[in-house]
Every structure is written in C-alpha cells, then in structure tokens.
Amino acid sequence: MSKMLRYRFIAFPVHLDTYGFLNEDEKSVLRCLIRLGDRGWFYGDKKLAKNLGIGVYHLRRAKLRLHVLGLIRIEKRGSQNYIYFFQDDIQCWRLTENINAKLQVDHEKMGLGRIEFKTEPFKSDEHFNNYFAQMFSKFANGRKGRSQNDDVEIVQELEAEISLQTPVRKFKVLTEKLEAAHPTKILSDYFNYRPQINDLKYGDTKPTDPDEIRYLETLDSKADKIIREPDEKTKLILDEVQFRIKQGDSNFEVGVMLDKIYRSQIKNSGGSHEVQK
C-alpha cells in the first residue's frame, strides 16, 4: 500500500494558480477549504456562497468541478448533509498531464521521489472541460447560458454525484475523542456545530443518526460545563468570544478564531492535544 503524500503549502498550490487552470470561483472555494483544514465546511451552500461573494449555482459548479479533479473530498454527515474538505493527498488529484509533470519536478527537487497518481490525468484543460460538460451538462456553460429554472435539476445532479462513495462522518469516534479533548478544542467544535445543536434542542429538523445525536448532546454538555466553570485561561478566551459575538461575528467566525487559539496552545505546549490530567 502506497503511503499518503501530503501537499503542504502556505497559501495556495502555485501550479493551480499560475496556469489559469481553475477559475476564480474554484480558487475561492479551494482557499476556503484549505484554511478550514480538518474541520471542513458543513454549513450549507447558501452561507458559503455568501461568505465567498458568489452565487449558489456557481458555488455548486465549482465544488463539483473540484470534486472531479480530486481536489476536494466529501464526507456524508448524518443522513442528508455533507462536509467538504481540501484533499491534501496529492496522489488523489486528477489534473492535466502538463500540471502533473510540473508537480513531479517539484516533488523530486524536494527529494520526495516520484508521485504515484491514483488516476490517469486529463490530457489538457480542453479535455477536462469537455469531459465535465459531457458528464454534467447543466454546469457546462459556467456563468453563461443558464436558465433560472434549471436550479432543481442542478441540485439533483450535484447531489447524485457527491453521494457516490462519500464516507459517513464517524460521530461515534468524535464522541470518544471528546473525553480527552482540550477545552479550547471543545469550544471551537461547539461553535462550529452550534446551529446543529440548536436544531437538535429547539428545531423541528433533527438528525436521524443516533451517533450524531449523542455527539451533539455530549459536545453541548461539555462546552456548557467549560463555559460555566472556566479556568483562568479559558475566562480570557471566553471574554474574547463574547466580544466577537457582540460585534456580530457568526458562529463560524467564532469557531475559526477559537481554532486558531487552540492550535497556538498546542504548539506552545509541545504538541499535546489532550487535557492535562
């Protein structure tokens, strides 16, 4: 079994940015998922489209194209929702022969050997665009030539595609990890899942997966205890949370802020992700 090759960079894979292979919508989506890292995006298309300043249709088209290129991976959360992640295993990418060749040169210059891509590349940009147009005709023309009445069919087409071989989010494992999780990590996850927690507690639409329900309930309980009985460091963090909420930051934005604090704490503590016993 070949080992996973992680593609590490600060801002954006240079070969995807330099040669005009991706359009601006696709770059925006990819940059967002890169920033989110292992947390991924699960709030829904309307919110992500608003955050990125693009239309929902163009967001869905971008996600589908990136999925075909192997640049994003998708996990199913519960029975209906999906989480999107940047695919940082370069072997899973399916780009063009030209870009693959440039990636090979970079990889070998870094002394990492050859990349064993898992899928044959597209011959060219045109080859990919033609393939995509044939597979997903509703998205073929990008920003041109679309009727507003196509939306229902487009959503169905997209959902049919992403439902193929999407692993289910393992909430049972996530619940187990909460037992030893760092308080700031719990708070970050709490704000990321706060809409789902509120839906579970007060809404009409509830998850059907019992493992997801248990995870949300456990996360809510642990976060509540941390908020009610904070230590001195957590008090300072919660003060910042309150400030961000008062100035109008969303749950997602607060979650991102907490995740940055958590990563800084882990780095300063020498890499321990767990609560000190």
- Tell me the per-residue pLDDT of 20-42, one tens digit each, with 9 for 90 and over: 678 888 888 888 888 887 778 87
Higher pLDDT: 1 or 183? It is 183
Do 146 and 34 lie in one domain? The reply is yes
Residue 237 lies in a domain: yes
**Chain centre distance of CA 141:** 26
Provide the CATH number for the domain around residue 153. Answer: 1.10.10.10
Long-range contacts of the stretch 233-240 (C-beta < 8 A, 24+) = 234/183, 234/184, 234/187, 237/184, 237/187, 237/261, 238/187
* Domain ranges, residue 256: 171-268
Q: How many domains does the chain have?
A: 2
Do 143 and 202 lie in one domain? The reply is no
Q: Is the dihedral angle over the CA atoms 16, 22, 24, 28 positive or is it negative?
A: negative
pTM, 2 dp: 0.52
Do 86 and 175 lie in one domain? The reply is no
Please give the pLDDT value at position 6.
47
Location of structure tokens 């990590």:
185
pLDDT tens, position by position, 86-145? 888 888 898 888 888 888 887 788 787 888 888 888 888 888 888 888 777 777 666 543
CA distance 143 to 35: 26
Do 40 and 123 lie in one domain? The reply is yes
Do 129 and 40 lie in one domain? The reply is yes
CA distance 214 to 83: 19
pLDDT tens, position by position, 179-222? 999 999 999 889 878 878 888 888 776 777 788 889 999 999 99
The first and second tokens of residue 13, run together, are 């894979």
The first and second tokens of residue 20, run together, are 């005009």
Q: Which ranges of 147-250 would DSSP assign to H, the alpha helix?
A: 151-162, 171-178, 183-192, 194-202, 210-228, 232-246
In degrees, to the nearest 5, what angle opens at C-alpha 259 toward C-alphas 256 and 50? 15
Residue 113 lies in a domain: yes
Number of H helices, E strands in the chain: 13, 2
